[in-house]
Amino acid sequence: MINVLASIKVKPGTKAEFIKIFKANVPFVKKEKGCVEYCPTIDFDSKIPVQKLDGDVVTIIEKWESIEDLKTHLTAPHMITYKEKVKDIVESVSLKVLQEA
């Protein structure tokens, strides 16, 4: 099992638009071979002192059956279309690909 945390920083004032575009793509991703979980999340102010909040970041929580499935996902036609739609909204992307310890 491969776990992925993708942190997507969007331009100020564009988070709602980004989430709308992202969520429209989720059903296509969930049909992909090996997709176990694919969910956009945003910061929740827990009041826990070590938490760093950033209102312009959307974190995607993903689980894939294999690294091959993840790599195939990154080049899927609907992902190419999604990336084109958000290219002027996204400032940066940080990706953590993880395995169980």
Determine the average pLDDT of the residues in 71-93.
98
What are the contacts of 51-59 at 24+ separation with CB within 8 A? 54/9, 55/15, 56/9, 56/10, 56/11, 56/12, 56/15, 56/91, 57/7, 57/8, 57/9, 57/10, 58/7, 58/8, 58/10, 58/15, 58/18, 58/19, 58/22, 59/5, 59/6, 59/7, 59/8
Name all domains of the chain by residue range, CATH numbers in brackets.
2-98 (3.30.70.100)
Average pLDDT over the chain, rounded to whole?
97
What does the pLDDT look like over 29-73, one tens digit per residue?
999 999 999 999 999 999 999 999 999 999 999 999 999 999 999
Q: What is the predicted pLDDT for the residue at 35?
A: 98
State what percent of residues in the chain have pLDDT above 70. Answer: 100
Q: What is the predicted pLDDT for the residue at 8?
A: 98
Determine the average pLDDT of the residues in 2-17.
98
